[in-house]
Amino acid sequence: MSATALAAPATPAPARRLDPLALLALPGLAFLGVVFLLPLLLLLWSSIRGAEGFSLQGYVRVLGDPYYVGVIGASLQLGLVTTLGALLLGYPAAFALARAKGGWQVLLFALVFLPLTVSIIVKSFGWGIVLRRDGILNWAMLNLGLIERPVRMIFTEGALYAGMINVFLPFMVLPIYSVVRMMDPRLPDAAATLGASPWFRFTRVTLPLSLPGVVAGVSLVFSLAVAAYVTPSLLMGDRYMTMSMVMAKAFLNLRDWQLGAAMAAVLLAVAAFVVVGASVLQRRLGGR
Amino acid sequence: MTGMAALQQAGHLTVAGASKRFGAALVLDDLSLAVAKGEFVSLLGPSGCGKTTLLRCIAGLLRPDAGHISVAGRDITTLPAHRRNVGVVFQNYALFPHLTVAENIAFGLRAQGVSKSESAPRVAEALALVRMTEHAGKPVTALSGGQQQRVAVARALVVRPSLLLLDEPFSALDRKLRETMQVELKHLLREVGITAIFVTHDQEEALVVSDRIAVMNAGRIEQLADPATLYGRPASLYVLDFVGQSTRLAGQVTEAAGGMLAVQTALGPVRAPGQFAPGSRVVVAVRPEAVVLGEAAENRIAARVREVSFLGSRTQLHLDLPEEGEDRGVVELPRLPEGIGPGSAVTLAFREADTMVFPAP
């Protein structure tokens, strides 16, 4: 064998526009195309197909009928309250998780993330058991003499919010945690030695640096909560109709595909707006 | 309290009887230190000796369990960090990654409520001081290590602290840059006229930047002295070993008279000034550059060369010592004589006055 044969090829490979590794995404894209994009197109098609061909009747009803407008408002409100609650509870929790050491961190991790392994249906039923008229909470308060008669908790908005925040809290904690974990814990110390008060340190150092995690958590929890179906169904039933519940009713009970599809399209638009808005915001925050 | 008052008079920074415990570990052990205005003092010691803990206590990021700390006569022991006006240059600098160079430097001024119109010229002045004016608008993440250090120094100085603490300020820089920055920073801080405390585990760095060095060991200051004294007259074997190299031989005092000792070592008798009773177990030591080849001084020992290290401006001989244990032999020569290499038999000579004696550990 000659020395030239052993040498590395002299001519560089021609530059390609697409990395061949990108081809690895094809099977996944094909799968998504079949199970996601196609049904989505069918859904959008259903939303504009009335009994006599093309019609926007579905959208007119969803966006014009006070009842359905109320449902959209209720869903947005549920999404907002859940997101706000999860943020207030999850933000400090994410810091505790990121700063905890050794065994404490394992324990906190378990507390935050083990609930994810429990089905959302089980969790919502669990809240039912806790909050029922003859549930654990009423039983405990009666026996402690805090109340004289059982308090109605289930089927109240408070119970719904508690259940929703419980279900979606991990989705707020995780993105904030992952940002905080990368944050140098000496930065607030550095700010302190420069004369910054605790409030100034938080608003000018800690908060801005954790904002990308907050934006990710907020968009994740809001888009999940606004589309929630199981938890509101089990904790509130028909008393608190969300967009997802109307969709289920339209498709399963009323067999009104156009209504259901139009509602689904509105929900999709709301979620897409939030997610796209968040990623734009995040890019701007991360641009520094 | 009279001791405290005396210390306060003595120093711009005064630490009196500071102790700090983390669980079972006593990290600061009744430590006292006084630093004069404008002085550069290094806290030198291995990791775990308490030097960073002491620094954090002075900065207000930790509170000592006992003792007092005062700056310019004011007791700041219980004051939170943001009310102390003690500047810190952190290891790896801890610059704010979401801010530009100028915004980093302006941070302290904004935190202290200095108006924009007043802070702008001060930021510009600080930028010029560290020669970073042309980088003012850059994000700090785009800077090199040396530039980041300059920004960290400017950020700390712009608020005019009464004291500047520097935690291993050169450890993130490569060797060449480190040597340049040591001299540059020392010059800069001297020009500003600030009192500065350096924390370092690097004895060469401490020798370069300090007026005085506090060698720390297990939460205490083993010796506080100027670099020449520390190197030439170390107070203990610990200091001898931590600062610079040496030839050290275990031995026993055979004779003591008129402040002179005769010590029997494994390589023969050595005479040195000192106060020990005959029969005491001691360690005699001599610095590498105080040793010459030949017989040109009072103390002479014969040894064999194990290894030769060429260091450019000088050459080190590492000696083969007959006994295992703490004995060590390091000699430095301006240049290596002809015919000497690993295995050569040599006679070493050093003056009695250069020979140090310590109690055996």
State the pLDDT at residue B54.
Answer: 95
Residues in chain B closer than 8 A to A192 (CB atoms): 60-61, 80-82
Contact list in B for residue A190 (CB cut-off 8 A) is: 88, 90, 94-96
Q: In terms of CATH architecture, what is B245-359?
A: Beta Barrel (2.40)
Minimum CA–CA partner of A212 in chain B: B98
- β-partners of residue B16 are B68
Rounded mean pLDDT, A202-225: 94
* Calpha distance A148→A142 (Å, rounded): 6
Q: What is the mean pLDDT of chain A?
A: 87
The predicted pLDDT at position A119 comes to: 85
Which of B249, B244, B239 lies closest to B324, judged by CA?
B249
A101 touches chain B (CB under 8 A): no
Residue A269 confidence class, pLDDT cut points 50, 70, 90: very high
* Predicted confidence (pLDDT) at residue B358 exceeds the cutoff of 70: yes
Q: In whole numbers, what is the pLDDT of chain B averaged over residues?
A: 90
CA distance B209 to B183: 7
- What's the pLDDT score for residue A87? 97
Query: B97 and A209: CB-CB below 8 Å?
Result: yes
- A53-107 pLDDT per residue, tens: 888 888 999 999 999 999 999 999 999 999 999 999 999 999 999 999 888 999 9
Domain assignments of chain A as residue spans, ordered by start: 46-286
Tell me the C-alpha distance between B81 and B350, whole Å.
Answer: 51
Out of A193, A208, A209, closest to residue B81 by CB? A193
Mean pLDDT of A8-14: 48
Mean pLDDT of B318-345: 80
**In the predicted model, is pLDDT for residue A235 greater than 60?**
yes
For residue A9, what pLDDT is reported? 45
- pLDDT band of A15, cuts 50, 70, 90: low
Of A35-49, A142-156, A187-201, B268-282, the poorest mean pLDDT is in A142-156
Which of A14-23, B56-65, B141-150, B235-244 is least confident? A14-23
Cβ(B357)–Cβ(B284) under 8 Å?
A: yes
H/E/C letters for each residue in chain A? CCHHHHCCCCCCCCCCCCCHHHHHHHHHHHHHHHHHHHHHHHHHHHHCEECCEECCHHHHHHHHCHHHHHHHHHHHHHHHHHHHHHHHHHHHHHHHHHHCCHHHHHHHHHHHHHHHHCCHHHHHHHHHHHHCCCCHHHHHHHHCCCCCCCCCCCCCHHHHHHHHHHHHHHHHHHHHHHHHHCCCCHHHHHHHHCCCCHHHHHHHHHHHHHHHHHHHHHHHHHHHHHCCCHHHHHHCHHHCCCHHHHHHHHHHHCCCHHHHHHHHHHHHHHHHHHHHHHHHHHHHHHCC
Residues 6+ apart with CB under 8 A from B285: B237, B240, B246, B247, B248, B249, B355, B356, B357, B358
Percent of the residues in chain A that have a pLDDT greater than 70, as a whole number: 93
**According to the model, what pLDDT value does residue A4 have?**
42
Is the pLDDT confidence value at A5 over 60? no
Residue B114 has pLDDT above 90, yes or no: yes
pLDDT of residue B5: 53
A252 touches chain B (CB under 8 A): no
Q: pTM above 0.90?
A: no
The token pair at B282 is: 């001691």
The full length of chain B comes to 361
Check whether domain B2-240 has CATH 3.40.50.720, yes or no: no
Q: What DSSP element (H or E) covers B222? A: strand B220-225
Listed range (A1-15, A22-36, A150-164, A177-191) with the worst mean pLDDT: A1-15
Inter-chain CB proximity A189 and B85 less than 8 Å: no
Give CA A116 to chain center in angstroms: 13
Q: Is the pLDDT of residue B76 over 90?
A: yes
Chain B residues with beta carbon closer than 8 angstroms to that of A191: 82, 96, 107, 111
Residues B35, B10: Cα–Cα separation, whole Å: 8
Separation CA B230–CA B220 (nearest Å): 16
In this prediction the ipTM stands at 0.84
Segments of chain B assigned to CATH 3.40.50.300: 2-240
CB A82, CB A165: distance < 8 Å: yes
Note the pLDDT of residue A6. Answer: 43
Q: Which two tokens stand for residue A57?
A: 């009747």
Please, where in chain B does CATH 2.40.50.140 lie?
245-359
pLDDT at A7 exceeding the cut of 60: no
Per-residue pLDDT at A274 exceeds 70? yes
Q: How far apart are CA B290 and CA B188, in angstroms?
A: 34
B142, closest residue in chain A (CA to CA): A288
Give the pLDDT confidence of B247-304 residue by residue, as tens digits: 888 899 999 988 899 999 888 899 999 999 999 999 999 998 898 888 888 899 888 8
The predicted pLDDT at position B322 comes to 67
| pLDDT-based confidence at residue B312 (cuts at 50, 70, 90) | confident
Determine the distance in angstroms separating the CA of A85 from the nearest CA of chain B, rounded to an integer: 27
Residue A238 has pLDDT above 90, yes or no: no
Asked whether the predicted pLDDT for residue B325 surpasses 60, the reply is yes
- Res B2: pLDDT: 46
Coil vs helix vs strand at B336: coil
**Can you give the pLDDT at residue A282?**
82
Give the per-residue pLDDT at B10.
58
Mean pLDDT calculated for residue range B312-327: 79
Is the pLDDT at A288 greater than 50, yes or no? no
CATH number of A46-286: 1.10.3720.10
Other residues' Cβ atoms within 10 Å of the Cβ of residue B230: 28
Cβ-contact B162, B195 below 8 angstroms: yes
A221 touches chain B (CB under 8 A): no
